[in-house]
Structure 1
Amino acid sequence: MNTLKFGLLGAILFASPTLFASESLTAQLETPIPGIQLYSLRNEIKHNTDQAFEHIHQWGITHVEGGRDLNGLTIDEYRDYLDKHSLKLVSVDTSYTEIRDNPIAAVYKARFFGSKFATFYWIPHGEEGEFTIDEAKAAVEVLNSAGKLLKKHGITLQYHLHGYEFSPYNNGTVFDYMVQNTHFAQFQMDVFWIAHANVDPLALLKKYPGRFSSFHLKDRVANTPKLANGLADPELNVVLGQGDIAIEDIVKEAKKQGVNDFFLEDESSRSMTQLPQSLQYYLSL
């Protein structure tokens, strides 16, 4: 995107978000607008769901992911809110327990919303934070069994990594075992959690091309401690391009591999301020 267009986009984004959302302007953008993980607006959704969704619409975003607790809404009410604000739920939330014990529920949920992904974000493991190879092997069986069922119904099962999967195993990591033995499900890369586990997201993407079907884009305060336990201070989230993660290189490689689904996420208390800036950065790539 050239400098003139980027400058104009920035002015529109902050001065007139409703105009930014117009289809005519969106069609002119060289870079498709990413989606957003609704956890970013969890507090706003809890306070006023309608207003939170309107913010997303005004930012020009049309695809969302998540909303697992639905803020007490029925699934019909939730879908009505999405339709009202022209938002498509690309990925529904599921859980390890659900796909292990009742995977057809994830199918029905995804089909109800017209979603192509069903995603879960955590695998229960030891109290001290270590994710063992035995727990990983059990998870792989669940991923393959449930993933095969979901695939039969046109849904891709995704597991979202949180960093604890990179404990050593043989000559590699527990994640190496998982990705090499999972055949009917895909993985979602949250670049923050990968980097926070002291793993290079770009190197991992190149090591396993085609195994990451979508991405959470989050940046991280530079030079802060890294821990592979799936835990981090949410205030470490910063505007894309202002942290220590090579966002531009990761996005380019992912697109080269054919990935089309990117979700902005910001878990910090500054998300409403930072998300529009992260969107502007993404569109400048």
Structure 2
Amino acid sequence: MKKIKLIVLLLLCFGMAEMSFAQKEGDPLMQAPLGVQAYSFRNHWANGVESTLDIIQEMGFTELEGGAPKGVTAEEFTKLCEARGISIPSTGTSFEQLESDPQAVADRVKALGSNYVMVAWLPHNGDFTKENADRAIKAFNEGGKVLAENGIVFMYHVHGFEFQPYEKGTLFDYMMKNTDPKFVSFQMDVMWTHFGGGDPVALLKKYGKRWVSLHLKDLRKGAPKNLSGGTGPENDVILGTGELDIPGILRESNKLGIKHMFIEDESDEELENLPKSIAYLKSLTY
């Protein structure tokens, strides 16, 4: 009996030491730098690139996911961001651009100094089908290989419509199974994942290191959900006030070592909501 108690005590001590080495009680749950998706400021860029970047800086963001706004070169935009202490680790491209000329995509990504590029939407008419998924898989594997050869990580940004039932799972599972992990990674938009019927925490656990980035947003409690990949701006709410398990998502993301998380606010009150979402993230601790 004494031997059993000693073993249990040693196991408990080892577990506590392991936890202490990783995170301690009171450590922030938001381990990644504070990032924002450029789309959050879609109503502001046309009014002035520098003034919009000033807003982003004043809010405390140090990472931006996006590209140079219309009329501004990549070089000019990166200089404006650097002057404000903002890096651009990730940008986006259309599916059609990736499919037709992945090298041109790579050149644009490198011009921004980014290391990641994501596709956020796939062409489909009504319900997303296996044929749509097969086209995406081919383009992802082939385009992702070209991007990897250029030192760039390709990500598919999950938008919710991929959760159409298929065989014993979903078309999202089918895409995961048939894309090459060497060339294709994934970005979880936690709200769209939930909106399409997926469980963000369970999917983070299931697919582990395939996830390399997050979009953080929340869905209004009780908002209707479907497989369209679209909903009204009134359903995009301040982090922590909606249906998403943000603390659980952050805990699992930290276990995976995800380094980039971008708040994306698609409401019509982004200037009021973003500071509140930031404050909520900063309030979360282990």
TM over 0.5: yes
Whichever residue aligns with residue 159 of structure 2, its letter is: H
1:72 shift after superposition: 2.6
For the residue of structure 1 that corresponds to 2:91, the secondary structure is strand
Q: Distance in 2 between matches of 1:252 and 1:78?
A: 33
Question: Any residues of structure 2 matched to 1:1-285 within 5 Å, and which?
Answer: 31-67=31-67, 70-126=69-125, 129-183=126-180, 184-285=183-284
- Unaligned stretches of 5+ in structure 1? 7-28
1:203 shift after superposition: 1.3
Q: Distance in 2 between matches of 1:34 and 1:165?
A: 28
The answer to whether the 8 Å contact 2:218/2:237 transfers is yes
For the residue of structure 1 that corresponds to 2:209, the secondary structure is coil
Q: Distance in 2 between matches of 1:33 and 1:87?
A: 11
Which 4+ residue blocks in structure 1 deviate beyond 6 angstroms? none
Q: Distance in 2 between matches of 1:2 and 1:273?
A: 31
The TM-score, its normalising length taken from structure 2, stands at 0.86
Q: Distance in 2 between matches of 1:93 and 1:33?
A: 19
Q: How many residues align?
A: 259
Q: Distance in 1 between matches of 2:134 and 2:239?
A: 35
Whichever residue aligns with residue 154 of structure 1, its letter is: G
The TM-score, its normalising length taken from structure 1, stands at 0.86
**Max radius of gyration: which structure?**
2
Query: What's the RMSD between the two structures over aligned residues?
Result: 2.0
Whichever residue aligns with residue 36 of structure 1, its letter is: V
For the residue of structure 1 that corresponds to 2:90, the secondary structure is strand
Alignment correspondent of 1:18? none
Q: Distance in 2 between matches of 1:55 and 1:96?
A: 30
Alignment correspondent of 1:11? none
For the residue of structure 1 that corresponds to 2:117, the secondary structure is strand
**Residues 165-202 of structure 1: CA distance to partner in whole angstroms, max 9, x if unpaired?**
01111111111100111111111100110111122111
Residues 267/30 of structure 1: CA separation in 2 closer, same or farther (3 Å cut): closer
Aligned-pair identity in percent equals: 38
1:205 shift after superposition: 1.3
Q: 1 or 2 for the larger relative contact order (CA 8 Å, sep ≥6)?
A: 2
